[in-house]
Amino acid sequence: MSTDKYWKQVNRTLLVKSLAELCYEQALIAKDEGAGRYSVTLKSGVIYSFKGQLTVWDWLLIDAQTIERQFEGQALPADDAAQFFIDASEDLEATSSTLGNLLHELANTLVADVVLLQKREGLDAQALATLPDEQLQCLLDGHPKAMVNKGRIGWGAQEFNAYGTEAAQGVRLLWLAVRRDLAVSGNSEQWDWPQLLAESLDEAQLQQLDRACREKGVSWQEFLPLPVHPWQWQHHIRQHYAQQIFRGDLVLLGEFGDSYLPQVSLRTLSNLERPRALHVKLPLTVLNTSCYRGIPGKFMRCGPALSEWMQSLCDRDEQLQLRGTGILQEVAGLHVPHSHQESVEGTPYRYRELLGATWRQSPAGLCAEGERHLLMAALLQKDAGGKSVAAALIEASGLSVEAWLTHLFDATVVPLYHLLSRYGIGLVAHSQNLTLVLRDNKVVRVLLKDFQGDLRLAQGEFPDRADLPESAAQVLDQLPANYIIHDLFTGHFVTVLRYLSAQLMTEIGLGELEFYGVLAKVLRRYQKSAQQDNADMTERFQQFNLFRPHIERVCINRVRLRQGYDDSAERPVPIVGGDLTNPLWLAEQESQQNQPETASALEA
């Protein structure tokens, strides 16, 4: 394929994605012209027309090969994503400044997408499905919901080629020594700081580090070790923390240790040389998928205790134990506040998240013999022919699609719903926060991660979480039940299952309501079991009702368009649009119509 064809293909793909998401978020309106054709008329006078199919989520599946741009009586194939945003800017209420910055993010995303197309060439879905998780993450398209998901404002071509996920290049970390009284830190009793160093450095490298410490007068009784991404050091830490560096409170020791591979989340790094070693999550002050990718300091002290407590729930709770649910524990965290920025009320949040690290368990270290791990985001990845990794795994498993999905839902959705209903714990479980464990190509359990801002608590009395560590209770957000349920509805159903159900409908003809009918049966079976164990769960299932007829439509892309790119003291907050008809409710309604004598296992 010529480079021009690559460029047109990624433009057309991103244009289709953006048009579909903006219509879903009700920023644009698609008119049904009949015979499966739709049109979007913009205030600029431009019309985009295409063939498409409206899904159960009120979201359009657009045939990319049919999209046309009509203007002043001329219709041409549409393959310029930037032109689309220019055409739609008035409808999107985007200022010139917002549009200019959006086009910057768009250009970065398109260039990265071309690289991914080239790297996946020759790899069909079966080949992708057999790759090790860490390698496959470097080939994934990324967030399906965020329009410009590789914006990375702050990086140029050199950084993309050296540190971008799709570059798949090993990164060696710089190590700092931080005076203990400057740092906010926490670590599990099972992990002390020498052990954390040994996860990244072999014996010879540890000796080199010790020599550097002696030369620079660093004693680990007074200092703590802190890895830093080389780009973050060069572009932010040397300047922002110059006072601490000149005073000798922050000491650069040098580059040491193993090479690390950037994962799909960009700032999480896996050990290239020792896959079972701890992952390291480092701040990168680049704007990517709606916010700057820093690390908030408020979770550092409680992270290890919260992780341990979550794992204790998995170990002692019968429903979680039955499903083998596990936690990728954050075993240590360290944050260095910026003394001056912290004293400025309302300072941009990115200045509060510049320097720190989180150490987290590797899924490779938690897999038994015969098991392998896979980021849930990988299920959605398609090859050049449009076949997905999910379809390849279903074929390889030898199971029917319904049986395979039953395993998937029981291993993933049920634990998330159980944590919500019994403990009032909401996890924003998008596809990059869920690691699937597979055996014989079927999903047998899930590993949960990323509790820094993606774990919230429901308000109210939940006796079963009474032993939540106080350090965590003080910093975790508490929200009403009707808000927290969206961590599952929007965070998982809309952000993951919406795409998976559409993909399987397109590929293998599985009806969307059949897909959600399987999910409904799995959830009803779980509810019946949980009620037998605990009568109080009936009231909880009414409080967190997944089967209500309508759910709120939560919009993320409109946030950036409305807020623009100005600095803010807090991370962006989603916007709520018009209601959606709940596919779970629809699936049960259809089932009851087909079998009127069968009553629901539990009244919604």
Residue 12, SS3? helix
Residue ranges of domains in the chain: 3-121, 157-309+330-363, 367-547+582-594
Q: Are strands 326-327 and 442-448 parallel, antiparallel or unpaired?
A: parallel
The yes-or-no verdict on residue 575 having pLDDT over 90 is no
Q: What does the angle CA 269 – CA 274 – CA 280 come to, to the nearest 5 degrees?
A: 25
Q: How confident is the model at residue 599 (pLDDT cuts 50, 70, 90)?
A: very low
Confidence (pLDDT) at 210: 95
> What is d(CA 16, CA 186) in angstroms, rounded to the nearest whole number?
45
Residue type, 191: W
The yes-or-no verdict on residue 52 having pLDDT over 90 is yes
Q: What class, spelled out in words, does domain 367-547+582-594 have in CATH?
A: mainly alpha
Q: How confident is the model at residue 17 (pLDDT cuts 50, 70, 90)?
A: very high
**pTM as predicted:** 0.95
Rg (CA), the chain: 24
DSSP 300: T
Contacts of 251 (CB under 8 A, 6+ apart): 176, 177, 216, 218, 223, 245
The yes-or-no verdict on residue 144 having pLDDT over 50 is yes
Instruction: Summarize the confidence of residues 408-432 as an average pLDDT.
Output: 96
> What is d(CA 285, CA 375) in angstroms, rounded to the nearest whole number?
24
Confidence (pLDDT) at 598: 44
Nearest to 213 by CA among 194, 187, 231: 194
Residue type, 482: N
Confidence (pLDDT) at 571: 66
> What is d(CA 29, CA 54) in angstroms, rounded to the nearest whole number?
13
Mean of the per-residue pLDDT values of the chain = 94
The yes-or-no verdict on residue 169 having pLDDT over 80 is yes
> What is d(CA 428, CA 416) in angstroms, rounded to the nearest whole number?
9
Instruction: Summarize the confidence of residues 179-190 as an average pLDDT.
Output: 93
Confidence (pLDDT) at 370: 97
The yes-or-no verdict on residue 601 having pLDDT over 60 is no
Residue 368 class from Cβ within 10 Å (0-12 exposed, 13-18 middle, 19+ buried)? exposed
Residue type, 153: I
**The 356-360 sheet, strands edge to edge:** 184-187, 330-335, 356-360, 279-281, 268-271, 250-262, 171-179, 223-228
Q: Which two tokens stand for residue 557?
A: 């892309």
Is there a shared CATH topology between the 3-121 domain and the 367-547+582-594 domain? Answer: no
Confidence (pLDDT) at 301: 85
User: Over the stretch 367-385, which tens digit does the pLDDT of each residue have?
Assistant: 999 999 999 999 999 999 9
The yes-or-no verdict on residue 492 having pLDDT over 60 is yes
Mean pLDDT lowest among 104-118, 258-272, 410-424, 564-578:
564-578
Q: Which two tokens stand for residue 16?
A: 């289709």
396-419 residues labelled b (16+ CB within 10 A) or e (exposed): bbebebeebbbbbbbbbbbbbbbb
Instruction: Summarize the confidence of residues 568-597 as an average pLDDT.
Output: 83
User: Over the stretch 227-262, which tens digit does the pLDDT of each residue have?
Assistant: 999 999 999 999 999 999 999 999 999 999 999 999
Confidence (pLDDT) at 361: 97
Confidence (pLDDT) at 435: 97
Confidence (pLDDT) at 561: 86
The yes-or-no verdict on residue 153 having pLDDT over 60 is yes
Q: Going along 403-476, which residue ranges are E strands? A: 425-427, 434-439, 442-448, 455-458
Cα distances from 496 to residues 203, 375, 378, 501, in angstroms, run 43, 12, 11, 9
User: Over the stretch 324-351, which tens digit does the pLDDT of each residue have?
Assistant: 999 999 999 999 999 999 999 999 999 9
CATH fold of the domain at 3-121: TATA-Binding Protein (3.30.310)
Instruction: Summarize the confidence of residues 72-79 as an average pLDDT.
Output: 95
User: Over the stretch 186-216, which tens digit does the pLDDT of each residue have?
Assistant: 999 999 999 999 999 999 999 999 999 999 9
> What is d(CA 4, CA 2) in angstroms, rounded to the nearest whole number?
5
Nearest to 106 by CA among 40, 42, 18, 24: 18
| Nearest-10 crossing angle of helices 96-120, 3-24 | 130
> What is d(CA 588, CA 598) in angstroms, rounded to the nearest whole number?
11
Q: Which helix (H) or strand (E) holds 284?
A: strand 284-288
Confidence (pLDDT) at 255: 96
Residue type, 92: L
Confidence (pLDDT) at 298: 85
Confidence (pLDDT) at 50: 98
User: Over the stretch 287-331, which tens digit does the pLDDT of each residue have?
Assistant: 988 788 888 888 888 899 999 999 999 999 999 999 999 999 999
Q: Which two tokens stand for residue 596?
A: 């009127």
Q: Which two tokens stand for residue 467?
A: 């032993």
The yes-or-no verdict on residue 576 having pLDDT over 90 is no
Locus of tokens 């959006």: 102
